[in-house]
Amino acid sequence: MNPFKYGQVVRAGDFCPRPQLLKEIRGFIASGQNIVIQGERRIGKTSLIHEAVRSVRRTRILYVDLLEIKTADALCKRIAKAIIASENQDGFLERIFKKLSQLKPSVSVDPLTGQPTISFDPAVRLQPDSIEGLLDIIASTHKRKSVVVVFDEFQDILNLKDCREALALLRGKIQFQTNVPYIFAGSIRNKMDEIFNDPDSAFFKSAIPLTVGPLDRKRFGSFLQEKFALGKRHIDPAAIQRLFEIAVDISGDIQQLCEALWEITSYKDQITDENIPKAMSLIFARESKGYESILVLLTGQQLRCLVGLAKLDGVTPQSKAFLQAVGIHLPGSVKKALNRTEKLKIIFQYQGKYRFVNPFFKAWLAYRDF
Ligand SMILES: Nc1ncnc2c1ncn2[C@@H]1O[C@H](COP(=O)(O)OP(=O)(O)O)[C@@H](O)[C@H]1O
Ligand SMILES: [Mg+2]
């Protein structure tokens, strides 16, 4: 069994310890302090939050994922589902169904997974003002057993047409629930800043900020080494360093690369730098359909700029060297092309530099000829 996991929340033995952050978060939970957790995609925010709450005794998580949320109705329903899931852990399903009766909830069993799934009457469309009632229910369940409320990918609340109203309603309730700890997590810094650092926002400075950065290389390196050892594989420390570089220290991407390395090696193998290209090829083979569908969206100029970014790592896109390499005369044209690819979420800006959302797509672009 391949021991490397990516694209999912990792827990317990799959979670490489982050003792400092865990301690801080536990402290904030204990004092009912609201926090806002920021960090890059796939760095490990969601796993960290679950792990932190899991380690606090007699406390449950009420987890609401706002990823790609579009309407206030969906927001309310996601909160309601989270309430149900949280109550269900303690067998209070019936009672909570009564409280949510206006939504006409029902349980059915997913024929594929065998898991129970909750659905609501689609004819019931909720307005933002239902948020208040839902948060009141949360407060009442908290009285019986402590709960930590998590809004993950919170920046996506800005997608809502009536986001200001939704934020004001949320904030209005949350500020009086002084003993319920709320955790807001998000990966898109400028949008999170818009919510928490803009004086015009209802959430202005309403939670203590915490940043989740890369895992400590030494600790994570040993963690990965031990996982390889489970299959009697030995990996060179130099190869591990190389993985960190390729994946720019993004935890999930490092695990993805390790998963591929494991697949292309066998029992008692010694893994070195030289195995990495084959692992990358495996990733490319799995992902190339997706890469090609990105290419379809690009003009020739945009593609050349992206390939330039991938190949000329670190060269400023407005510099002469860059313009020459990509065969474009005007810095403004490069800027425009990159803006477009940023909008398409292929690249993003980080500390004044462009980075690829997917480091493997970057490598794929760099190694191919266009
Ligand atoms: N503490 C950790 N130990 C080991 N792997 C981790 C850890 N945190 C994150 N990862 C890796 O990163 C992936 C994404 O983690 P996740 O918590 O979903 O990140 P985020 O919420 O920041 O996008 C996981 O599937 C796992 O591969
Ligand atoms: Mg997450």
Here the CATH number for the domain that contains residue 84 is 3.40.50.300
Give the per-residue pLDDT at 106: 86
Longest dimension (CA), the chain: 68
Looking at the structure, do residues 166 and 238 belong to the same domain, yes or no? no
Looking at the structure, do residues 152 and 44 belong to the same domain, yes or no? yes
The span from the CA of 250 to the CA of 235, in Å, is 19
Give the per-residue pLDDT at 93: 81
- Asked whether residue 34 is domain-assigned, the answer is yes
- Asked whether residue 6 is domain-assigned, the answer is no
Q: How far is the CA of 121 from the centre of ligand 2 (A)?
A: 28
Looking at the structure, do residues 43 and 180 belong to the same domain, yes or no? yes
Average pLDDT for 210-220: 97
State how many domains the chain has.
3
Atom of ligand 1 nearest to the CA of 16: 3
Looking at the predicted structure, is the pLDDT value of residue 370 above 80? Answer: no
Ligand 1: which of 8, 10, 54 to mutate, judged by most atoms within 8 Å of the beta carbon? 10
Which of 211, 242, 263 is at the close of a domain? 211
Looking at the structure, do residues 116 and 192 belong to the same domain, yes or no? yes
The 10s digit of each residue's pLDDT in 97-110 is 888 988 888 888 88
Looking at the structure, do residues 33 and 94 belong to the same domain, yes or no? yes
Looking at residue 268, which CATH number applies to its domain? 1.10.8
The span from the CA of 166 to the CA of 156, in Å, is 12
β-strands 106-109, 234-235 pairing: unpaired
- Asked whether residue 178 is domain-assigned, the answer is yes
pTM over 0.85: yes
Cα torsion 310, 311, 316, 321 to 10°: value is -150
The span from the CA of 63 to the CA of 45, in Å, is 13
Percentage of the chain modeled with pLDDT above 90: 84
Q: What is the DSSP letter of 68?
A: T
Give the per-residue pLDDT at 115: 78
Give the per-residue pLDDT at 89: 78
Grade residue 111 by pLDDT with cuts at 50, 70 and 90: confident
- Asked whether residue 8 is domain-assigned, the answer is no
Looking at the structure, do residues 122 and 189 belong to the same domain, yes or no? yes
Q: How far is the CA of 47 from the centre of ligand 1 (A)?
A: 6
Contact 329, 343 (CB under 8 A): no
Which of 234, 269, 287 is at the close of a domain? 287
Looking at the structure, do residues 101 and 84 belong to the same domain, yes or no? yes
Q: Is the distance from the beta carbon of residue 227 to the nearest atom of ligand 1 less than 6 Å? A: no
Which of 156, 191, 211 is at the close of a domain? 211
Tell me which ligand sits closest to the C-alpha of residue 51: 1
Average pLDDT for 349-359: 90
Looking at the predicted structure, is the pLDDT value of residue 369 above 90? Answer: no
Atom of ligand 1 nearest to the CA of 4: 27
Q: Give, using CA atoms, the residue closest to atom 7 of ligand 1.
A: 44
Looking at the structure, do residues 37 and 165 belong to the same domain, yes or no? yes
Cα dihedral 241, 246, 248, 252 sign:
negative
β-strands 353-356, 347-350 pairing: antiparallel
Atom of ligand 1 nearest to the CA of 17: 1
Looking at the structure, do residues 274 and 322 belong to the same domain, yes or no? no
Average pLDDT for 53-80: 95
- Asked whether residue 323 is domain-assigned, the answer is yes
- Asked whether residue 195 is domain-assigned, the answer is yes
CB atoms within 10 A of CB 238: 9
Q: Is the distance from the beta carbon of residue 185 to the nearest atom of ligand 1 less than 6 Å? A: no
The span from the CA of 181 to the CA of 85, in Å, is 18
Looking at the predicted structure, is the pLDDT value of residue 43 above 90? Answer: yes
Looking at residue 332, which CATH number applies to its domain? 1.10.10
The 10s digit of each residue's pLDDT in 290-316 is 999 999 999 999 999 999 999 998 899
Average pLDDT for 214-238: 96
Angle at 295 between CA 294 and CA 300, to 5 degrees: 140
Q: Is the distance from the beta carbon of residue 18 to the nearest atom of ligand 1 less than 6 Å? A: yes
Q: How far is the CA of 296 from the centre of ligand 1 (A)?
A: 30
Q: How far is the CA of 214 from the centre of ligand 1 (A)?
A: 10
Ligand 1: which of 11, 21, 22, 47 to mutate, judged by most atoms within 8 Å of the beta carbon? 47
Q: How far is the CA of 193 from the centre of ligand 1 (A)?
A: 23
- Asked whether residue 339 is domain-assigned, the answer is yes
Q: Is the distance from the beta carbon of residue 46 to the nearest atom of ligand 1 less than 6 Å? A: yes
- Residue by residue, what is the 3-state secondary structure of 40-56? CCCCCHHHHHHHHHHCC
Looking at the structure, do residues 24 and 165 belong to the same domain, yes or no? yes
The span from the CA of 310 to the CA of 291, in Å, is 14
Q: How far is the CA of 345 from the centre of ligand 2 (A)?
A: 17
Looking at the structure, do residues 362 and 250 belong to the same domain, yes or no? no
- Asked whether residue 10 is domain-assigned, the answer is no
What is the residue-averaged pLDDT of the chain?
Answer: 94
Contact 18, 271 (CB under 8 A): no
Q: Is the distance from the beta carbon of residue 288 to the nearest atom of ligand 1 less than 6 Å? A: no
Atom of ligand 1 nearest to the CA of 212: 22
Q: Note the residue count of the chain.
A: 370
Q: Which domain range does residue 228 map to?
A: 216-287
Looking at the structure, do residues 204 and 226 belong to the same domain, yes or no? no
